[in-house]
Structure 1
Amino acid sequence: MDLPPLIPFEETFDALYGLEVDEQTEDRVVAHVPVSNRVKQPMGLVHGGVYASIAEAITSMGTARAVYADGMSAQGLSNQTSFLRPILEGTIHATATRRHRGRTTWVWEVDITDDAGRLCAVVRMTIAVRPLPKPETR
């Protein structure tokens, strides 16, 4: 199911840093971000906030895919990112795998790798499942 966006994707923060989703199901989401200077910190490494943002975006998408039709939304509740190796160039690759599907929370694990397939960061995301905001509050 494709979700009708509340805000066009091209106007969102995820579009700003270049998120591109390659695969999306309720159990797995795969995405990538091309590395450019706009996603780096001043020392030339991809900014840690980009890894956390990718993880939150794709796990929220996967959860929303399953709960939106029931009038529910998906929103980040906890983001625990461990940085293992820097990415300096190329492409950031992210694969999210759902580990728990509860009534009010979902838990995902996200592996972030570089072009050589090396593990660069691991993220544990908890997504809250809550009622969609009423139209007047959106």
Structure 2
Amino acid sequence: METHKEKILKVCNEVCKNTLMETLDISFIDVGENFLLAKMPVTSKVYQPDGVLHGGATVALAESVGSAATYIFMDQNKYMIRGLEINANHVKSVKDGFVYAKASIIHKGRTTQLWEIKVTNEAGDLVSLCKLTTIALPKQ
């Protein structure tokens, strides 16, 4: 029997089909009371011209995990989630392996949410620190 955690991760991964998340091979791997964790392989598909992880791919990973986290922590039947603002500080290069993005809630308001997303390499070193603001808009 599937646990609640497994159901959440299954839904997060299923909605990625035919999206940018599938193109980048992003997968959701863990969820807790106030966080969501995803991973992305670092291959030539996400390189910048000099052979390291592209900052734009890193930001796409961060926004994907932060938006998905808002989606699972809000009532999906009542709200649609949109990103308002994202910023990123890239501090380390990655050439291969996986990067992991952990979105942790800073502020969970009824309308706006603020997430910190730490992107790390396989050794746990910080690659990028991102901040995402999302908005929950009532479905019409």
Please give the TM-score of this superposition, normalised by the length of structure 2. Answer: 0.85
| Counterpart residue number, 2:38 | 31
Aligned residues: 132
> How far is the alpha carbon of 1:90 from its aligned partner?
0.7
| Counterpart residue number, 1:77 | 84
| Counterpart residue number, 2:100 | 93
Amino acid at match of 1:89: D
Distance 1:34 1:44 in 2: 14
> How far is the alpha carbon of 1:36 from its aligned partner?
1.0
Amino acid at match of 1:59: G
| Counterpart residue number, 1:112 | 119
> How far is the alpha carbon of 1:8 from its aligned partner?
4.8
Aligned CA-pair RMSD? 2.0
Distance 2:70 2:33 in 1: 6
> Structure 1 stretches (4+) deviating beyond 3 angstroms?
1-5
Secondary structure of 2:81's match?
A: strand
Structure 2 CA distance for partners of 1:8 and 1:94, relative to 1, 3 Å: closer
Deviation digits for residues 26-65 of structure 1 (CA, Å, limit 9, x no counterpart): 6201110011110111110111011111111111111111
Matched, 1:20 2:27: yes
Q: Tell me, which stretches of 5 or more residues in structure 1 are unaligned?
A: none
Q: Percent identity?
A: 26
Distance 1:96 1:9 in 2: 17
Q: Tell me, which stretches of 5 or more residues in structure 2 are unaligned?
A: 1-6
| Counterpart residue number, 1:61 | 68
Distance 1:92 1:14 in 2: 14
